[in-house]
């Protein structure tokens, strides 16, 4: 294998020579795309460098038996390997090949024959500025995305600087995050080689990324383009909010334009020959970046690229002096077609009567007859396909909810019972209407548009497409951050497991233990303890077997007194002014030890049956002694916390946030953020009150600061961090959590794939933003 391969010599079949990025550039260059000229220092040259210098033995020794979870050791090993690669002299023949190719870059073949012209170039005059980019042989492939894990160096000028940049790119194959990623995804270090792309810089006036399929909606009929002023790193790394342009792929028409303010840009400083951050002039800060002509020309290139590769493409572009260049194109590793939604025929809405409006808690559209349920005694009147309307739902309503086509409630927010269960069942749900039970009438025919939060009178025409999600790729998105599910209903375990989730991050005990409508403590007092244990055991096994070899975190009972009071044997429950702040969760469990112990006995029985993937999670912790006592009770039933069973706590109070270091010192395996309660208690509002929903915000700075602090402390103690509140199903929260360094995110079953895509994109952005800072020797 030669040490150098020019773009004109490469095709997409040459990944083993030029890596994913280099092979793609060669393919596009030869297909006539506007690619800036360049060449690749081949993977063979890198392998030759390792073999000739003899440094692979040192590298392999450092990687041997490395515990990738020991972050301090991982970083030490990564730094040592990078220093070895950067400071080991490059063999002369490889160095000479690179220098000659660089000096000949962007030179006409006829000019190369002119000795005088070549001497002028070699004397240092007119040497081109280049981008030096890594191109791993496992990067940007349909089965793996290593993008952003290796380095990129912009505005490099001069042969010796190019040599240094090439070696830094080689070294970047061994950053801590790249080593960690390979170990986690079972890639052999020795088999992942690296090529380096050396390409003439485009000093772009504007630049960005584009997707031949809309990655937000997964609509393959749309092209999305994001653009910003200056060099593309600001857009690619996520440092700015770029303009967004959506183009109809078939019609080649601009559908939407979203212009966003940009205060600064990256650009070339001609005096320093380096990239600098520069404030934009006032007239450009809020100006549209791309013209209609540029948008449509880019869209044509996106279509051409997708047609050429026969699969959706993710591309980077640059525009210099009105000329468009494509600087990178790679496949979108996994893409689902947009789930074609059941949509209301908009032409009929002008004549449709809006009956009630509320909060969209679970999207979708349904139509049917209204059945108003004012108490559990009226649940029997709900038949298959009816619209269940209630003041608010509770666990007693689940049987009726399963029959319903949609759910509408007077009260509640996006974290209410109706919202949570509706999402799990995949039903359209509107909550917080305030007046649905008084405005709607039994047996009245309505159309529920839960996507918009509106109930219309009558059966409006519905265009019903397939609701089945169609695969565009057989390859699943891979993320380092684990994506788990929130579970309540054991009968839906197989469906939840089919999402590909990495486990159950929250299994609520209430839906299982209160479903019999008999107070659990009453069962124990009347000699029916085995009935309680066997019911919990059977349901735990049903879920644990569906998620075989994946963790299932069971949260002990957390129901407030008003829910217990409605059960048989619950007449002695205390009357509380505010049950959410009353006798519930771990506070109740430590008072009612026999019930607490019965939960643990069911878990012990499941472990004895081989279902050791079940862990236990203690809710609403506010004191260290609560955790100590819970661990003691767990030991009494024969399970040693942290040795025989995963033991963790919920972080859902400001108190737990403030004492998190003390809680870690007591000994826990994991913490999980209960953002529903954490937001409620931090912002001092009732999350089930429709009146204050506009103030309920899991993304409030105070909540985010709490989460970030806990993750930082837990990382120090080696305690796993997760989230199991409803906020985990929101893309903006998922992106924040990835940046904060969380280990896993739990989402509703219907959101698992979407959140995994969001996390994959966030991880890639994070890697790209760190890449420039990772190698500074």
- Out of 417, 607, 664, 714, pick the active-site residue: 417
Query: Catalytic annotation on 417?
Result: yes
Contact 646, 668 (CB under 8 A): no
Task: Report CA-CA distances (Å) from 281 to 241, 287, 309.
Answer: 17, 10, 40
Q: Given the DSSP bridges, would you call strands 482-487 and 744-747 parallel, antiparallel or unpaired?
A: parallel
Instruction: Pull the structure tokens for residue 6.
Output: 């020019």
Residues 6+ apart with CB under 8 A from 597: 633, 636, 637
DSSP SS3 for 117: helix
- Structural tokens at position 152: 């990129």
> Using N-to-C axis directions, what is the helix angle for 115-122 and 92-104, rounded to 10°?
110
Q: How far apart are CA 480 and CA 493, in angstroms?
A: 24
Report H helices in 250-321: 282-285, 292-309
How many angstroms separate the CA atoms of 464 and 681, rounded? 42
| Among candidate residues 252, 250, 253, 258, the one with its CA nearest the CA of residue 290 | 258
Is residue 254 left, alpha or beta, with left meaning phi > 0 and alpha meaning psi from -120 to 50? beta
**What sign has the CA pseudo-torsion 535, 540, 546, 549?**
negative
Active-site pick, 40, 169, 664, 724? 724
With a CB cutoff of 8 Å and minimum separation 6, the contacts of 264 are 234, 240, 277, 278, 279, 280
- Cα-Cα-Cα-Cα dihedral of 761, 764, 768, 771, to 10°? 160
Between CA 252 and CA 584 the distance in angstroms is 59
Q: What are the distances in angstroms from CA 312 to CA 224, 303, 426?
A: 12, 9, 29
Reduced 3-state DSSP string for 643-706 = CCECEEEEECCHHHHHCHHHHHHHCCCEEEECHHHHHHHHHCCCCCCHHHHHHCCCCCHHHHHH
Q: Compute the radius of gyration of the chain from its Cα atoms.
A: 30
* Catalytic residue list: 417, 724
């Amino acid at each position: 294998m030669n040490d150098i391969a020019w773009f004109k010599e490469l095709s997409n079949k040459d990944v083993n020579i030029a890596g994913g990025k280099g092979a793609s550039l060669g393919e596009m260059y030869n297909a006539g795309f506007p690619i800036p000229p360049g060449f690749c220092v081949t993977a063979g040259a890198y392998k030759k460098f390792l073999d000739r210098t003899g440094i692979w033995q040192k590298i392999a020794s450092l990687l041997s038996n490395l515990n990738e979870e020991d972050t301090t050791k991982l970083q030490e090993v990564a730094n040592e390997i990078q220093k070895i690669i950067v400071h080991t002299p490059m063999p002369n023949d490889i160095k000479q090949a690179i220098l000659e190719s660089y000096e000949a870059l962007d030179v006409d073949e006829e000019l190369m024959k002119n000795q005088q012209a070549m001497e002028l170039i070699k004397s240092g005059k007119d040497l081109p500025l280049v981008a030096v980019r890594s191109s791993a042989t496992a990067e940007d492939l349909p089965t793996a995305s290593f993008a952003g894990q290796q380095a990129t160096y912009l505005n490099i000028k001069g042969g010796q600087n190019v040599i240094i940049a090439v070696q830094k790119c080689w070294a970047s194959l061994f950053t801590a995050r790249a080593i960690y990623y390979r170990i986690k995804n079972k890639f052999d270090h020795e088999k992942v080689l690296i090529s380096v792309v050396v390409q003439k810089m485009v000093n772009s006036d504007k630049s960005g990324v584009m997707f031949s399929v809309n990655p937000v909606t997964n609509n393959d009929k749309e092209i999305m383009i994001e653009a910003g002023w200056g060099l593309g790193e600001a857009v690619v790394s996520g440092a700015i909010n770029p303009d967004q342009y959506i183009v109809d792929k078939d019609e080649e028409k601009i559908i939407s334009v979203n212009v966003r303010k940009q205060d600064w840009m990256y650009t070339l400083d001609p005096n320093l020959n380096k990239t600098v951050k520069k404030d934009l002039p006032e007239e450009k800060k809020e100006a549209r970046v791309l013209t209609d002509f540029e948008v449509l020309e880019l869209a044509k290139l996106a279509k051409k690229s997708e047609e050429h590769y026969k699969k959706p493409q993710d591309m980077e572009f640059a525009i210099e002096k009105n000329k468009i260049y494509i600087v990178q194109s790679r496949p979108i590793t996994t893409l689902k077609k947009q789930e074609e939604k059941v949509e209301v025929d908009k032409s009929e809405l002008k004549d449709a009567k809006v009956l009630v409006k509320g909060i969209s808690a679970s999207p979708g559209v349904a139509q049917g007859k209204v059945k108003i349920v004012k108490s559990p005694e009226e649940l029997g009147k709900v038949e298959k396909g009816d619209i269940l309307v209630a003041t608010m739902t509770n666990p007693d309503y689940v049987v009726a909810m399963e029959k319903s086509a949609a759910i509408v409630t007077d009260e509640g927010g996006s974290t209410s019972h109706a919202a949570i269960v509706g999402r799990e069942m995949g039903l359209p749900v509107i909550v917080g209407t305030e007046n649905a039970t008084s405005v709607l009438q039994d047996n009245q025919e309505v159309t529920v548009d839960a996507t918009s939060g509106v109930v219309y009178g009558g059966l409006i025409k519905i265009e019903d497409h397939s609701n089945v999600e169609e695969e565009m790729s057989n390859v699943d998105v891979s993320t380092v951050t684990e994506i788990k599910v929130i579970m309540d209903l054991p009968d839906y375990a197989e469906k939840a497991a089919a999402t590909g989730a990495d486990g159950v991050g929250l299994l609520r005990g209430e839906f299982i233990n209160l479903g019999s409508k008999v107070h659990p403590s009453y069962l124990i007092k009347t000699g029916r303890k085995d009935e309680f244990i066997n019911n919990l055991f059977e349901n735990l096994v049903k879920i644990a077997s569906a998620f075989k070899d994946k963790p299932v975190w069971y949260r002990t009972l957390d129901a407030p007194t008003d829910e217990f009071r409605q059960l048989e044997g619950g007449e002695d429950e205390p009357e509380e002014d505010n049950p959410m702040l009353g006798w519930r969760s771990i506070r109740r469990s430590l008072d009612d030890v026999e019930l607490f112990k019965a939960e643990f006995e069911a878990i012990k029985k499941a472990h004895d049956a081989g279902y050791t993937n079940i862990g236990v999670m203690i809710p609403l912790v506010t004191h260290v002694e609560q955790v100590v006592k819970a661990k003691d009770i767990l030991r009494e039933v024969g399970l040693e916390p942290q040795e025989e069973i995963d033991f963790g706590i919920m972080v859902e109070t400001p108190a737990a946030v403030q004492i998190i270091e003390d809680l870690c010192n007591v000994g826990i395996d994991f913490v999980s953020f209960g953002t529903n309660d954490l937001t409620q208690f931090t912002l001092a509002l009732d999350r089930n009150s429709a009146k204050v929903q506009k103030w309920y915000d899991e993304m409030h700075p105070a909540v985010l600061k709490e989460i970030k602090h806990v993750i930082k402390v837990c990382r120090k103690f080696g305690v796993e961090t997760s989230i199991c509140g409803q906020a985990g199903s929101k893309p903006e929260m998922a992106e924040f959590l990835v940046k904060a360094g969380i280990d896993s995110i739990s989402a509703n079953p219907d959101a698992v794939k979407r959140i995994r895509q969001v996390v994959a994109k966030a991880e890639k952005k994070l890697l790209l933003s760190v890449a420039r800072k990772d190698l500074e020797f």
